Structure 1
């Protein structure tokens, strides 16, 4: 059976044929603009291509005007180590000695609500292919997850599937999951956030970029066959808000095959090594339409594509469906004619389907697509790739001043009970239920992962050079003050990397916000971008790339604005990486607090769990303090352990350190703050706890003074199995049991063969 084509000739002959552009996410003015570009109505295939490529997910049409600020604030000194930056599939950083690292974080939020397992799994698969497209071997993944209240019925539906999807895909690829974050908040009900991060490694000279150049060069599609799954994924799911019943949009969710992707990784690496790839692009959001039009727009010619050559796994697919399909595990390469046979041979070796689907033509910017021998797309590639640019209205919300008025902080009558309440809350309890479903040590180069502030990986097995990676965000802080919230996310990720002994060198981000059609949301977004960009400039580390996810809201209620910020650091010898265990030496350890503690509870976990809602200002942060703190850690060999202080304050930090020892800890809170409650639970920034032996205390304090970091001895390890402060003694085993029990009690119904709960 031959599929009917709406051809270019038919479009010219039937200019008034109705088209479902509204259903595809296009506005009236956008459709009119397309007709002006083409000089006629678009064909069905052209409409599909433009609707996908002009979606918020692919075009960044509402965020472009603000994202330019990252470039404006990046100095030449900041950019000199960036081999590939904003606009590429992933940022690539020169870490020295000929080694480079690429990393990126991306969202797969709406698909993960609709179909949690496949939504999360294909989110991991997509970010891995972004890393592959830079010429790199993917070496690790991380995840940033946010759900509604932990005890909500829908969270019980979504969380197990998401976690299983992240673990199932990553584990099957043989990639260690080296860290992440899981947050519960009412604001994410009906719109969870699933952000996946991937790290890859390559030699500097092996960098690959996405462009189609060289007239006569061939366009090769390789990987899985193209099917009907994922059609409309970015235009239907990624560019609109959820309404009731949105979970039924199953056809728009992609279906992943991690084993096909594992073979694709090895195939790509051999293709790169053989030198047969001119340009490379992964197929993710927007499918073949996105990959081919972006390659054409970035090249020095145009492109002719023949859809009849695309290997299909469904019958009677239309040109629009083939172009828009988001079937997973596919890549698109540009290859010189003399290398096509070698390219095909390598694909055959790995049993990866491959097809020559087009070629580069000498007509600059021309994008031609044929199906059933007829022309179905004839458009300028640049107009597809660039999309419209909107300057959406933005204004500081009328409710912002009232929100920032600090409600009185409820002080607990019983600090011991408060500690149990905090540690066992869904906000701070053990994530073992989640992380034990992930393989952390596969590939053998994971140095730090479980219970570590940042994941640490060996990159070079000869020199032991490595990297540390962390990603953080607080939607609560960001709603109170978007610019400060973004700076705090940057500060925490930077600090998490620093306390391992690594030197922070680059930033990536995934900016999750509500509808850009809301002036309130756009103000939050703009403020967060400026806060992050200015913060990166102050720290002297560049933003190497990022992702924007809009329309994260249910009806008219947006999520908490959530700028996830990832930081990459370099450590010259991973054997010198600092952990945060206590009890690693035979003698007692002394605990030292770095930084100053103030009465700061706006947006804090204490405010959240004590029923205080959300109000006030978030902790204030001076990034110069963060930089001094980082300098303190680089090359410091006097420490036996270190842990940053963030959510939950000093109490959470010390408790997490104490859980890893067979002994106990005695604290002197008067050395922290005159108010014990503030000392325990304040979330002041730029702080960490370090451990050392008695003989090295003076050296640690002297180094802190040299670096300009406030430091005070606040406690020591003890033989008893208690945490003692003032008149309070807490049994650490009881506290640990409460800490570990929360998530299994909530989600034990979902424990299966792939779950391990201690």
Structure 2
């Protein structure tokens, strides 16, 4: 049912009360998921334009310039609530939806990333969700031939009952083949191509704007879409063929709010109207009502605006790929959204009222009491044991069990595979560098700094591969915004993201908001999770540094400053004191740090590089010891802090690089005022860490065994 206030506004604007079909359209299109009612005012604070931005937020995906002839399409979406109710299909259709967003712009999808957030795996339900969500992503992505090249998996009790499934898709197109969702001309026909329409996914948009109750699996199952990747693959090829041949004037994927959403938004964006003949929609089930036809979110469907003379050509291409297709209406000049069913008009709505009329507002925001950062814990006697326990935590452990299920080499572009700081795709003579994710615990303790750190951390991930950020997309996952403390988190995180993006001159070109992520079943609300995807370009793909130690005798150089910034760190999570400490700040010279790292990578002066982030220096060193050890001396690192803080601080703007020409590296960095210290030498069969009178010795097989904890759990 429409909220009373919404019904009052709509009735006043229309001069009458909307009928049930019209109410269904408003319920979905005026939902938080579609209209961003309480988030739009905050999202407007982002800088969304730049020299390389061709199409920013508002379409199915953003378009940014790659070179003189080609463009990159990028989008990010969530499928959180569906993935709890039906983890396999929820995750699979999340992949399918974001891929179609890319295709609808005229771009061929070339890569996927999947930042994922789960409850702890000691709870059987969380383990079940984890396993089947991964299967859903793999099952769909592998079948359609789009590689999953990067991701993250973060585990925390706050995600019990509400896992987060975020997906980024990147596409490649010729700049002349880009299409948008803006309707172009009255009289053009609307052609629906793809799978038949069924009752699956009914009310998915409004469902995504509610919290999950304990009986959600049964009560909300009709809201879950069922995907067919084989049809999706055919739809990709058919759509791109139609676009490349110039038959498509505008295109829109059928996602949230189904046909009602795609068609009304297409007309509205072009300042035109839409007339739909619902009977012409090819249906999978009998006796469907116009409400069901309009709102169903059945998958693998694409809406195209086609000139009358090109309609038969589009229908022929659809038939060639064995896809359903039909002319379901046309573009009109009256700025009305009209729907006919069985010869009667069942909906007649001012189109701008439907697509843009939902009132937007900022909710009350309440800053919590100032957090007591608490006292520092006693230094554990056995730091080796602590290091291995952190490395073996599921958040820190190798994600090999996950990404080995993905075909990450299909399309043969993947130069740097999953498991690294960033993935690199070979496109001509350049490399497209990709990273994603965030640190939700940083954001939980300090939403603004968490937002800042999210952008900086991902920018560092691509910098160690020689790339500067080109564009950012986001997926803002939060709890119930009607709670003032949650809305305050949401607002502060957005401000942090925006400020960091401006600091680094990287535009935020698109994204998604997912609110009401909480569970009655487990009495949880997710940690604030402002996950992002970032793309950058590196000019040098011939000598990309590895992420592990690989050259005996190379000097190991620590870049950046280590501070007592332990708030939200993995070390404190292990000690069960994650609410203590100061959340990492962003160095004032972060631009210089990133530019310095990019320069030493592009000048081919290093053999390996690795960003320091979650887990701190200790975890970064362990991750670099995949094939070779090292001897580390930490006496020259910040004399004002303790050894455990040197090892586990998660201060931003730091990286480890190795080089046979350390003087060249340090000279470049020091000329830019970037702190750098030689801390050791590559070689040996163990990781030796020395600090004053303390020596920590970690054998390579001990590190490997610890890092394989997740794989061992899932294969036992």
The answer to whether the superposition gives a TM-score over 0.5 is yes
- State the match for 1:14 in structure 2: none
Q: CA 1:623–1:552 in 2, change beyond 3 Å: closer, same or farther? A: farther
The partner residue of 2:34 within 37, 41, 58 is 58
TM-aligned CA deviation for residue 558 of structure 1: 2.3
| Superposition map of 1:391-430 within 5 A | 391-398=361-368, 400-402=369-371, 404-430=372-398
CA distance in 2, matches of 1:432, 1:419: 20
Question: Is 1:161 aligned to 2:137, yes or no?
Answer: no
| Superposition map of 1:536-615 within 5 A | 536-555=501-520, 557-583=524-550, 585=551, 587-615=552-580
**Contact conserved, 2:189 with 2:305, CA < 8 A, in 1?**
yes
Question: Is 1:642 aligned to 2:613, yes or no?
Answer: no
**Residue 101 of structure 1: SS of its match in structure 2?**
strand
TM-aligned CA deviation for residue 406 of structure 1: 3.1
The partner residue of 1:246 within 216, 223, 233 is 216
Unaligned segments of structure 2, at least 5 residues? none
**Contact conserved, 2:688 with 2:697, CA < 8 A, in 1?**
yes
**Contact conserved, 1:392 with 1:517, CA < 8 A, in 2?**
no
Question: Is 1:143 aligned to 2:111, yes or no?
Answer: no
**Contact conserved, 1:665 with 1:716, CA < 8 A, in 2?**
yes
TM-aligned CA deviation for residue 119 of structure 1: 0.4
**Residue 566 of structure 2: SS of its match in structure 1?**
coil
**Contact conserved, 2:625 with 2:687, CA < 8 A, in 1?**
no
**Contact conserved, 2:475 with 2:512, CA < 8 A, in 1?**
yes
Question: Is 1:110 aligned to 2:57, yes or no?
Answer: no
- State the match for 2:260 in structure 1: 289
- State the match for 1:352 in structure 2: 323
**Contact conserved, 1:102 with 1:200, CA < 8 A, in 2?**
yes
CA distance in 2, matches of 1:411, 1:384: 60
| Superposition map of 1:472-487 within 5 A | 472-487=437-452
CA distance in 2, matches of 1:257, 1:536: 37
**Contact conserved, 1:629 with 1:709, CA < 8 A, in 2?**
no
CA distance in 1, matches of 2:77, 2:418: 22
TM-score, structure 1 length as denominator?
Answer: 0.91
Q: CA 1:627–1:133 in 2, change beyond 3 Å: closer, same or farther? A: farther
TM-aligned CA deviation for residue 623 of structure 1: 5.7
Which moves more between the two structures, 27-36 or 569-578?
A: 569-578
**Contact conserved, 1:225 with 1:311, CA < 8 A, in 2?**
yes
**Contact conserved, 1:515 with 1:521, CA < 8 A, in 2?**
yes
CA distance in 2, matches of 1:395, 1:293: 33
| Superposition map of 1:294-693 within 5 A | 294-363=265-334, 365-398=335-368, 400-402=369-371, 404-460=372-428, 464-555=429-520, 557-583=524-550, 585=551, 587-622=552-587, 624-634=589-599, 635-659=602-626, 661=627, 663-674=628-639, 675-693=642-660
**Residue 685 of structure 1: SS of its match in structure 2?**
coil
TM-aligned CA deviation for residue 410 of structure 1: 4.3
**Contact conserved, 2:475 with 2:531, CA < 8 A, in 1?**
yes
TM-aligned CA deviation for residue 419 of structure 1: 1.1
**Residue 527 of structure 1: SS of its match in structure 2?**
helix
**Residue 576 of structure 2: SS of its match in structure 1?**
coil
1:155-211 CA distance string (max 9 Å, x none): 112000100001111111111111111011011111111001101011222221101
Question: Is 1:186 aligned to 2:157, yes or no?
Answer: yes
TM-aligned CA deviation for residue 33 of structure 1: 1.6
TM-score, structure 2 length as denominator?
Answer: 0.96
CA distance in 1, matches of 2:595, 2:84: 38
TM-aligned CA deviation for residue 622 of structure 1: 2.6
CA distance in 1, matches of 2:497, 2:560: 22
The partner residue of 1:210 within 181, 187, 191 is 181
1:549-608 CA distance string (max 9 Å, x none): 01011247421111012211011232233321322x4x4221100001011110111110
- State the match for 1:754 in structure 2: none
**Contact conserved, 2:60 with 2:101, CA < 8 A, in 1?**
yes
1:289-328 CA distance string (max 9 Å, x none): 1000001111142111101110110000000001010000
Computed over aligned residues only, the root mean square deviation of the Cα atoms, in angstroms, reads 1.5
**Contact conserved, 1:480 with 1:616, CA < 8 A, in 2?**
no
CA distance in 1, matches of 2:284, 2:238: 21
CA distance in 1, matches of 2:271, 2:399: 50
| Superposition map of 1:77-96 within 5 A | 79-96=50-67
Q: CA 1:392–1:504 in 2, change beyond 3 Å: closer, same or farther? A: closer
1:319-339 CA distance string (max 9 Å, x none): 000101000000000010111
1:702-728 CA distance string (max 9 Å, x none): 111123211110111123344443422
The partner residue of 2:19 within 26, 40, 43 is 43
TM-aligned CA deviation for residue 82 of structure 1: 0.4
TM-aligned CA deviation for residue 540 of structure 1: 1.1
CA distance in 1, matches of 2:695, 2:441: 33
**Contact conserved, 1:163 with 1:434, CA < 8 A, in 2?**
yes
CA distance in 2, matches of 1:500, 1:225: 44
**Contact conserved, 1:267 with 1:347, CA < 8 A, in 2?**
yes
The partner residue of 1:256 within 227, 237, 246 is 227
**Residue 689 of structure 1: SS of its match in structure 2?**
strand
**Residue 337 of structure 2: SS of its match in structure 1?**
strand
**Residue 32 of structure 1: SS of its match in structure 2?**
helix
1:375-431 CA distance string (max 9 Å, x none): 011001111111423324333333x413x5234334221111111111111221111
CA distance in 2, matches of 1:424, 1:356: 56
CA distance in 2, matches of 1:410, 1:374: 76
Question: Is 1:744 aligned to 2:711, yes or no?
Answer: yes
CA distance in 1, matches of 2:363, 2:714: 42
CA distance in 2, matches of 1:256, 1:410: 52
**Contact conserved, 1:589 with 1:691, CA < 8 A, in 2?**
yes
**Residue 551 of structure 1: SS of its match in structure 2?**
coil
Q: CA 1:727–1:110 in 2, change beyond 3 Å: closer, same or farther? A: same
Q: CA 1:395–1:43 in 2, change beyond 3 Å: closer, same or farther? A: closer
- State the match for 1:230 in structure 2: 201
